[in-house]
């Protein structure tokens, strides 16, 4: 069976979030991330995570299956980090699991790290799902960044799903040959070595082809360049970062009031 298409790709749509200026969404992401690193209560993180989920499903109208297919990335690292803090943070032990002990400090800090990391990853995915990377490149160039650097951002985001497809192709080839059925640790290590080698070689080939194409089109020969597709800023898009900025302020105020 072919692996599902990787979720790090733009999902075309006509929602309000798709029409929002790319740099406005980048500013919104910064507001969300900054607030998450200020909150000291897991409840605040849960509220923001729920808000981003509602924004993803109802406003951006991203298919639910896209979130499900990305759930291992969105929530997986957060869960691992939470488990680490449960046992690593100092405090009075409340539960013993073999030689390890869950501490009071871990129970207090672990969920905070889960919501912090998972929400930032989900918000970053939402930015990718609703932003054409060409529009992002143009908006960065119009913000005063030299278009050579803006195009570097474009290439980085463009190659991410391509790299994942390379890994999926290698995995499918191994599955067809029955090699993926072996589950020993040594065998899995050998598989990942092949993944890295294949991705590295194909990445170098694509980089060389891209460099040749840029050189043949005299990319960088002029201080400015024109763009076929216009990307316009609409003040109404500022509602998105402003709304989350207000939400951040309210949550911080409620946290301080509860502590006071």
pLDDT score recorded for residue 9: 81
139 in a structural domain: no
Q: Are residues 3 and 44 in the same domain?
A: yes
Q: How far is CA 76 from CA 46, 119, 217, 240, in A?
A: 16, 12, 43, 27
Report the SS3 class of residue 93.
strand
pLDDT score recorded for residue 6: 46
193 in a structural domain: yes
Token duo for residue 88: 């690593």
What's the burial of 36, exposed, middle or buried (CB within 10 Å: 0-12/13-18/19+)? buried
Alpha carbon distance 193, 175 (integer Å): 16
Q: Are residues 201 and 169 in the same domain?
A: yes
- Contact predicate 33/123, CB 8 Å: yes
Q: Are residues 225 and 238 in the same domain?
A: no
Q: Are residues 246 and 178 in the same domain?
A: no
Cα-flanking dihedrals φ and ψ of residue 89, to 5°?
-70, 145
Domain housing 193 = 145-229
pLDDT score recorded for residue 4: 42
136 in a structural domain: no
Q: Are residues 225 and 102 in the same domain?
A: no
Q: Are residues 222 and 236 in the same domain?
A: no
Q: Are residues 59 and 174 in the same domain?
A: no
Domain tally, the chain: 2
Q: How far is CA 108 from CA 101, 104, 249, in A?
A: 14, 6, 22
pTM to 2 decimals?
0.77
Q: How far is CA 11 from CA 7, 58, 146, 160, in A?
A: 9, 15, 27, 15
163 in a structural domain: yes
Q: Is 181 left (phi over 0), alpha (psi -120 to 50) or beta?
A: alpha
For the chain, what is the radius of gyration of the CA atoms?
22
Q: Are residues 127 and 5 in the same domain?
A: yes
Per-block average pLDDT, block size 10, for the chain (260 residues)?
55 91 94 93 93 95 89 88 86 82 85 93 93 86 82 75 72 66 63 73 77 75 72 88 95 85
Residue in 16, 239, 7, 24 with CA at minimum distance from that of residue 135:
24
pLDDT score recorded for residue 1: 36
- Contact predicate 75/89, CB 8 Å: no
Q: Are residues 223 and 244 in the same domain?
A: no
201 in a structural domain: yes
Q: If you count them, how many residues does the chain have?
A: 260
Alpha carbon distance 157, 143 (integer Å): 19
């Amino acid at each position: 069976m072919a692996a599902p298409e990787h979720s790090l790709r733009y999902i075309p749509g006509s929602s309000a979030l798709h029409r929002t200026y790319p740099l406005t969404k980048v500013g919104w992401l910064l507001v969300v991330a900054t607030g998450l690193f200020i909150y000291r209560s897991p409840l605040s993180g849960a509220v923001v995570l729920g808000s981003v989920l509602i924004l993803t499903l109802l406003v951006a109208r991203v298919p639910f299956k896209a979130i499900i297919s990305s759930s291992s990335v969105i929530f997986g690292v957060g869960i691992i980090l939470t488990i680490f803090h449960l046992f690593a943070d100092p405090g009075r032990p409340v539960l013993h699991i073999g030689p390890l002990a869950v501490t009071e400090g871990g129970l207090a800090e672990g969920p905070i790290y889960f919501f912090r990391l998972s929400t930032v990853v989900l918000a970053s995915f939402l930015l990718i799902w609703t932003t054409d990377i060409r529009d992002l490149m143009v908006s960065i160039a119009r913000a005063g960044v030299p278009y050579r650097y803006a195009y570097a951002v474009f290439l980085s985001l463009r190659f991410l799903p391509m790299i994942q497809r390379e890994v999926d192709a290698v995995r499918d080839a191994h599955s067809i040959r029955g090699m993926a059925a072996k589950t020993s640790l040594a065998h899995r290590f050998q598989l990942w070595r092949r993944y890295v080698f294949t991705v590295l070689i194909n990445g170098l080939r694509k980089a060389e082809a891209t460099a040749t194409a840029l050189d043949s089109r005299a990319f960088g020969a002029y201080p400015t360049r024109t763009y076929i597709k216009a990307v316009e800023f609409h003040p109404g898009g500022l509602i998105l970062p402003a709304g989350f900025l207000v939400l951040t302020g309210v949550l911080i105020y409620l946290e301080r009031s509860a502590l006071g």
